[in-house]
Amino acid sequence: MAGRGKRRRPAEGEPVSAVKAGALATKKKPSVPAKTRSPVRQRSRGRTRLSPEAIEEMFHLLEQDNPEPKGELEYVNPFTLLVAVVLSAQATDAGVNKATRALFKIADTPEKMVRLSEEGIREYIKTIGLYRNKARNVLELSRQLIANHGGEVPRAREALEALPGVGRKTANVVLNIAFGEPTMAVDTHVFRIANRTGLSSGRNPLEVEEDLLRVIPQRYALHAHHWLILLGRYVCKARKPECPRCVVREICLFEPKTM
């Protein structure tokens, strides 16, 4: 028939099946369009639902909005930073700053804090919640810094967490701000933001910390927890996030977004 090519006859001694196989091998396989992966959703990343491209863009936008984010606790050296972070547990940064401005003028070293005594410390921080227990911790951690670390704040996580009143979050803050370590301090704001945006679906602070350290690009790691804290404190609030003001609203997986 017209339009059909001639079928090759089998050569002498060649089985007919070989000819059929050759004909099949010359046929082109139909091209299958590759699946397009969403730049936002990617389920293969464990507890993280955002793709690497989306995470990169998120922190690029946060950096553009605030290139040099800073913690809001006031301090004059690593020791006063450590004390301020210990006092900030279940308290606002503003409330801690109000109390410590006067305290740090007379006790900005462990030695001076010990001389002030527990009762003296209480007088300065009595406007802060749980001030009695916190005064006891501040005095004891000051004594331990003198006895075990020459009056200096240690740069090792284990040594920091061994001090009274110092947990993982406090150690992460001190390591990050005082020593420039790319740690991730997960407070209530960071925990909320990570789960809302899709950076993590961790069930506790440690799971969220592990997720964030794994997926946030290294170039953003030093300031990452500051960006997330400030975003949670002033924009992505607990009760009603202010999505129209959010610089990462197009990337965030939170639904429904506020109008």
Going by C-alpha positions, the residue among 113, 73, 118 that lies closest to residue 96 is 73
Residues 175 and 187 in one domain: no
Two tokens, residue 27? 């046929």
Residues 169 and 199 in one domain: no
Confidence at 259, pLDDT banded by 50, 70, 90: confident
Domain edge (last residue) among 179, 214, 234: 179
What average pLDDT is seen over the chain? 87
Residues 136 and 99 in one domain: yes
Domain edge (last residue) among 179, 205, 225: 179
- Residues 59, 217 contacting (CB under 8 angstroms): yes
Q: What tens digit of pLDDT does each residue of 186-195 get? A: 999 999 999 9
Q: What are phi and psi of 62, to 5 degrees?
A: -65, -40
Residue 158 has pLDDT above 60, yes or no: yes
Q: Which residues are catalytic?
A: 169, 187
Helix (H) or strand (E) holding 44, with range, is strand 41-45
Residues in the chain: 259
Residues 107 and 233 in one domain: no
CATH number at 173 reads: 1.10.340.30
Considering its fold, how many domains does the chain have in total? Answer: 2
Residue 131 has pLDDT above 50, yes or no: yes
Residues 190 and 205 in one domain: yes
Is 4 domain-assigned? no
Residue 133 has pLDDT above 80, yes or no: yes
Residue 163: domain span: 78-179
Share of the chain above pLDDT 70, in %: 82
Which pTM does this prediction carry? 0.80
Domain edge (last residue) among 154, 179, 204: 179
Residues 175 and 117 in one domain: yes
Confidence at 37, pLDDT banded by 50, 70, 90: very low
Is 25 domain-assigned? no
Is 12 domain-assigned? no
Confidence at 257, pLDDT banded by 50, 70, 90: confident
Residue 3 has pLDDT above 50, yes or no: no
Helix (H) or strand (E) holding 50, with range, is strand 48-50
d(C-alpha 12, C-alpha 60), whole Å: 70
Which whole-number Å values give the CA distances from 121 to 36, 113, 124, 128, 138, in the listed order?
61, 8, 5, 12, 8
- Residues 165, 138 contacting (CB under 8 angstroms): yes
Q: What are phi and psi of 31, to 5 degrees?
A: -75, 135
What is the SS3 assignment for 49?
A: strand
Is 31 domain-assigned? no
Residues 132 and 82 in one domain: yes
Residues 204 and 170 in one domain: no
Q: Where are the alpha helices (DSSP H) in the chain?
A: 16-26, 52-65, 78-87, 93-106, 110-125, 131-149, 157-161, 168-179, 188-197, 205-215, 224-234
Residues 102 and 164 in one domain: yes
Residue 36 has pLDDT above 70, yes or no: no
Residues 131 and 200 in one domain: no
| Choice between 20 and 222, residue whose per-residue pLDDT is larger | 222
Contacts of residue 250, Cβ cutoff 8 Å, sequence gap at least 6: none
Residues 112 and 95 in one domain: yes
What is the SS3 assignment for 201?
A: coil
Give the model's pLDDT for residue 151: 97
For 25-51, letters b (16+ CB in 10 Å) and e give eeeeeeeeeeeeeeebebeebebbbbb
Is 32 domain-assigned? no
CATH number at 220 reads: 1.10.1670.10
Residue 227 has pLDDT above 50, yes or no: yes
Residue whose entry in the numeric block shows the structure tokens 């002498």: 12
Residues 160 and 124 in one domain: yes
Give the model's pLDDT for residue 19: 42
